[in-house]
Amino acid sequence: MPAALGDLAQRLGLDPRSAYLTVALTHSSHAAEHGGTSNERFEFLGDAVVDLVIADQLVRDHPDLDEGQASLVRSRTVSEAALAGAAARLELGTLLRVGRGERKTGGPARPSLLADAFEAVVAALYLERGFEAARAFVREALEPELARALAARDRVDPKSRLRQWTETTGRGVPVYEVTATGASHDPTYHATVRVGGHVLGRGRGSSKKTAEAAAARAAWERRDDA
């Protein structure tokens, strides 16, 4: 038994020979070559558990965040890159069982495989020890990613922030319309942004980008009217 597997099992509170843990560390390429069950279904479950844990933590511990900010922080904390980083700290790449072809192409080091493996391990813990154990593990494992996301919560461009809010609240995608006035060598751009078919913000600027950003900021300030 590799020492890293024993360390991981100890951290999870699982037996290193746990059938759930074995499945969590088995990529589909390995299952296809050698038989057995891959971790694909565990990825599906683990994704939901991780999302719930982080959303629960944000609501409980950060009441200062509005819905748009909380959604943005959560999405950054559970992104592929963030989960892959957590998986790397756990050395999941050295423990993940992959097929020969996948290993030749550097599979265990790919962020997508590492992120999937992290989710699968969370599912294994959830299935064997329950939600509270899974929650404690996820909160500890993703603490650095959550801290970075919280620190950067206000560093987001107006259009991204508006779109994040409209999508998470079921209002669809903002639609921008831009026109130009003035001399061709020095135009002024005027932008409107529609949410749910209604104009929610207007803005202007020396470029299409700045005009759309101004409209997005105006719409954000009026979001309660949408």
Q: What is the pLDDT of residues 118-142, one digit of tens each?
A: 999 999 999 999 999 999 999 999 9
Domain limit, last residue, from 110, 126, 151: 151
Neighbours of 144 (CB within 10 A): 13
Domain limit, last residue, from 151, 182, 198: 151
Active site residues: 47, 119
Contact of 128 with 14, CB cutoff 8 Å: yes
pTM more than 0.85: no
Alpha carbon distance 22, 8 (integer Å): 12
216 and 105 together in one domain:
no
45 and 144 together in one domain:
yes
Pairing state between β 198-205 and 175-181:
unpaired
Neighbours of 61 (CB within 10 A): 12
The arrangement of strands across the sheet holding 188-195 comes to: 175-181, 188-195, 198-205
Contact of 171 with 220, CB cutoff 8 Å: no
162 and 123 together in one domain:
no
What does the block give as tokens for 159? 């259009």
- How high is the mean pLDDT of the chain? 90
Alpha carbon distance 171, 48 (integer Å): 23
Domain containing 204 equals 158-225
DSSP state of 174: -
64 and 118 together in one domain:
yes
119 and 26 together in one domain:
yes
124 and 185 together in one domain:
no
Mean pLDDT of 94-115: 84
Q: What's the domain count of the chain?
A: 2
Render pLDDT for 167-187 as a digit per residue (tens, 0 to 9).
Answer: 888 899 999 999 999 888 889
CATH number at residue 109: 1.10.1520.10
pLDDT above 70 covers what percent of the chain?
Answer: 96
Q: So what's the pLDDT on residue 1?
A: 43
162 and 52 together in one domain:
no
What letters, b where the CB count within 10 A reaches 16 and e where it falls short, cover 149-184? Answer: bbeebeeeebbebbbbbbeeeebeebebebeeeeee
Q: So what's the pLDDT on residue 154?
A: 67
104 and 129 together in one domain:
yes
CATH number at residue 175: 3.30.160.20
DSSP state of 117: H
134 and 98 together in one domain:
yes
